Each structure stands twice: as structure tokens, then as C-alpha cells.
Amino acid sequence: MLIKSRKSWHLGEGEVTPESLYLRRRDFMKLGGAAAMAAYLPAMAKAALEPLRDAIAAAPTTRNLHEDLNSFEDITSYNNYYELGTSKSDPSRNADALNTDLWSISVEGECDNPGTYAVEDLVQADLLEERIYRMRCVEAWSMVIPWTGVPLSSMLEKLKPNSNAKYVAFETIYNPDNPLPGQRFPVLDWPYREGLRMDEAMHPLTLMAVGLYGKPMPNQNGAPIRLVVPWKYGFKGIKSIVKIRFTSEQPQTSWNLSAPHEYGFYSNVNPNVNHPRWSQATERRIGEFFRRDTLMFNGYGDEVAHLYEGMDLRENY
């Protein structure tokens, strides 16, 4: 007899939100949240995701943490996106500086299907789902966010990495002739770069997100497409991706280049290892007053700990 074990990101029938409540939630976002949305709609990725707009709104929820979500206002007004500025309020204030029209992604390196792709050519609409994830920032704060996207693995399977591809590298938008506000300053070595080991990239929790709260991704959150890896610190989730490269060697990453003693390649949430300038043992959920204990792998240890068996997670930080 074959017994199938249910993954934690798949809901049982009893856990699924009743359709009537789900539709009311969507109605609230359309009607009750209209005033908040109005302030951000000009910054949405309208052109890049027009073919996917209805699919984003209709995506089923397939992850339930039984935790309260942060509000749309929290998620879109308190951000780290250094291309749009270094303070937490800069990205929402400067969101209009990011133009997502005619967006394309260059695919290079060790794969069978290199080329230049529109977002909708890489994101299969019928695979879109809403994933409710805890997101942990290295500065000891966190949020719970309802992302909409597709597993990164579904994109990689389409691009067909070959046997030499051990890592996936990503780059974000960079235009030195007409830079985004934050790129006018040498805060980092632009463009922003990130990377994953291939088994991390293929893990079913790893998401390429194109929306949140049932809407296309706001600019300040990384429109039109960004990476979400919920067991890693938030800076690993590169935004506004324009290049994907498959490589046989570990790629360089922006924060590791900037401060290698503080930011490692793996960037897994590990409360037992302090950042050189602060403790990682506790965190504060945005919108709450009291702090809470930080969970190993951000609470996703059952799903991902096996990826790092035999590794020293103090050395491989």
C-alpha cells in the first residue's frame, strides 16, 4: 500500500479557506483596500504582467502558516530595495522611478534554452499560486507576506540547465545612463547580484514571485518579478530580475562582496550565529511590539535542513 505524506505547503481540505470567505477577502482588497491601493497603482508593473493579471488575482492559496498577515500598507511602505534608496521609506516614495514596460529577462550560461524572454513567457499562468511565507530580514525584523508566483523549478525546467550547471545566478536592473535613485551612489557594486545552489533553486519552496495580495508586484517590492526564498534572509530575494545565468562555479553576490565578514553566500536564517553587529536570536514582527524567538531556517527546517547535512552552518553562513 502506497502512503503519501503531505508536504507542509499543501493544504488539506479542512484547512482551505471557504470560497465565500476567500471571495470576500478579494472583495475587500478591491473595495475596502481601494484607498490604499490607489496610492500604489501607478507604481504597479502594468505592462510587463498584463497577460498574467487575471491569473494573479485568481491564484489559489496553497500555503497556510496560521499566522496573521502583515497589511498591504506594511508590506509596501517598509522595504529594503537599495536601488530605490537606503531608508525603509525610500522605495515606496521613489517607486515611480522604476519603469517596468517592455521588461525582458536574459538567460545565459550552462543551459539548453538561452535567450531573451518576456516575463509571461517564463511564468506559466496555470502554475501561479499564492504562498503565505514568513520573511525574515537580517536587521532582526520580519513580516508574513502573501506572495503570488510560480516555483522557480518550473522556470528552470523550461530553460533546461545542463549537467555543468551547479548554481543559478541572478542580476537586477541597472541603467547607468538613467540610474534609479539609489544607484547614483556607490552603496553597493551595481548591479545587484545574487545566487543559489541548484538544489536550493529546485526546492519547491523557492518562488519566483510576480504579485502580492492578489495584485501584480508593486515596484517597491521588486516588480515585475523577484526571487523569494523563505528560509533565507530577505536580502537573498533579489528584485526586478533582468538576467539569469547558469554556472558551474559559485557566483558572486552583492552583499558578500560588500561585507564578506557579515554576509555569506548561503544566508540561511540561523539564530545561533550572531551578525557581527547585533544578535539574531530574536526578531520583531512589523506591526507588533514584543519580540519573538527566531526560528532555525525561519521555521522551514523540516523542509530544507537536509540540503545542508554535513555542512558547518557557522562557517557556511
pLDDT in tens, 184-223: 999 999 999 999 999 999 999 999 999 999 999 999 999 9
Across the range 154-180, mean pLDDT stands at: 96
**Inter-residue contact 286 to 227 (CB < 8 Å):** no
Across the range 8-34, mean pLDDT stands at: 43
Q: Which cell numbers hold the place of 114?
A: 538561452
For the 13-308 domain, the top CATH level (class) is: alpha beta
What would the pLDDT profile of 94-134 be if each residue is shown by its tens digit? 999 999 998 999 999 999 999 999 999 999 999 999 999 99
pLDDT at 4: 41
Place of cell 498584463: 50
Q: Which cell numbers hold the place of 253?
A: 553576490
Lowest mean pLDDT among 22-26, 141-145, 179-183: 22-26
Position 63 confidence tier, pLDDT thresholds 50, 70, 90: confident
pLDDT at 50: 85
Query: What percentage of the chain reaches a pLDDT higher than 90?
Result: 76
In this structure, the strands spanning 282-285 and 292-293 are antiparallel
For the cut 60, the answer to whether the pLDDT of residue 312 exceeds it is yes
Position 254 confidence tier, pLDDT thresholds 50, 70, 90: very high
Q: How many residues does the chain have?
A: 317
Lowest mean pLDDT among 61-65, 178-182, 273-277, 291-295: 61-65
Q: Cβ atoms within 10 A of the Cβ of 259, count?
A: 11
Q: Could you please report the per-residue DSSP string of 246-303?
A: EESSPPP-HHHHH-TTT--SS-B--TTS-BTTB--SEEEETT-SS-EEPPGGGGTHHH
From the list 118, 122, 317, 110, the residue with the least C-alpha distance to 232 is 317
pLDDT at 92: 97
Query: Average pLDDT over the chain, rounded to whole?
Result: 88
For the purposes of burial, counting CB atoms within 10 Å of the CB of 56, is it exposed (0-12), middle (13-18) or buried (19 or more)?
buried
Distance CA 233, CA 283 (A): 12
Residue 221: CB partners within 8 Å, gap ≥ 6? 75, 76, 79, 81, 91, 212, 239
